[in-house]
Structures are given as structure tokens and as C-alpha cells.
């Protein structure tokens, strides 16, 4: 087997078939990416809107931020740590071969407000997509 050691016993970024084991399903990550991108678009739209709305009856409540927060909070601690580490890889803080180190640090730093931490990252959806891409996973090809 050609897996590189991760520095954390029992944690290997790849299984025997050379498929990445991120500790979180790629479908869950894809759904979070979609929600994060929708939230980013909503925030951008809100910034571009006039202060006064022409027709207040047409206003619809924005639930994208709440949806993103819910998706993250529904994950278990290990999945939340994997999501943080994936964002770090996407941001360039870690390389894919340093997955074990990134995951270990994310587990150590996993605080009560993981959703708040992640949602505070600029362009979270893009960071997560880049993190997946670093492992050869194309988010647009993930079934949802």
C-alpha cells in the first residue's frame, strides 16, 4: 500500500482503492457547498439592493444562512472537524498529503461554534470545493 503516514494512528486519507476517506461524505460536503454559495449570493444581492424596497409584499425571508448553519450543526464532531480541515486545504493552509495533520488540528480546535467559524470564512463554498478538488473530487460531479 502506498498511503503516506498521517501522523495520527488510524487515520489514513486514502483507502485500499486509492479513494479519499475524508471522514465526511462528499454528498454532505456538496450540500454544504451549495448552501454556502447560495448564502454568499444572497449576501451579495442584499448589498446591491436599494435601502428602500419597491414592494415589501414581494420580500421573502432569507433562510440560506440558517440552512447552512443547520447543515453544519447536524454533522457529528468528526465530520465537523473534517469540514474545517477541508476548508483549510482549500485555502492552501495544508496540502492533501498533510490531511492527517490538518484533521488532527481541526479536531483539537473544534469548538462549540463550528458553524459560526466556518460561516465566518469568506467564500466558504469555494474553499470547500477547492479542498475537494485538491483530492481529485469535482463538486459538480457529485450526485445530490
Give a yes or no: residue 128 inside a domain: yes
Give a yes or no: residue 95 inside a domain: yes
Distance CA 103, CA 89 (A): 10
Angle between helices 64-73 and 26-48 (to 10 degrees): 150
At residue 42 the predicted structure's pLDDT band, cuts being 50, 70 and 90, is low
Give a yes or no: residue 8 inside a domain: no
Domain of 123? 26-141
pLDDT tens digits, residue range 66-103?
799 999 999 999 999 999 999 999 999 999 999 999 99
DSSP label of 54: S
pTM, to two decimals? 0.74
Give a yes or no: residue 81 inside a domain: yes
- If one counts the domains in the chain, the total is 1
Amino acid at each position: 500500500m502506498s498511503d503516506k503516514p498521517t501522523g495520527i494512528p488510524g487515520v489514513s486519507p486514502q483507502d485500499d482503492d486509492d479513494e479519499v476517506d475524508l471522514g465526511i461524505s462528499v454528498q454532505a460536503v456538496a450540500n454544504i457547498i451549495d448552501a454556502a454559495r447560495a448564502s454568499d449570493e444572497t449576501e451579495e444581492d442584499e448589498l446591491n439592493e436599494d435601502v428602500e424596497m419597491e414592494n415589501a409584499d414581494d420580500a421573502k425571508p432569507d433562510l440560506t444562512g440558517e440552512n447552512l448553519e443547520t447543515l453544519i450543526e447536524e454533522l457529528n464532531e468528526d465530520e465537523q472537524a473534517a469540514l474545517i480541515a477541508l476548508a483549510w486545504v482549500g485555502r492552501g493552509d495544508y496540502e492533501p498529503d498533510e490531511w492527517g495533520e490538518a484533521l488532527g488540528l481541526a479536531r483539537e480546535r473544534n469548538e462549540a461554534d463550528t458553524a459560526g467559524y466556518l460561516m465566518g470564512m469568506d467564500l466558504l463554498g469555494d474553499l470547500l470545493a477547492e479542498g475537494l478538488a485538491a483530492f481529485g473530487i469535482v463538486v459538480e460531479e457529485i450526485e445530490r
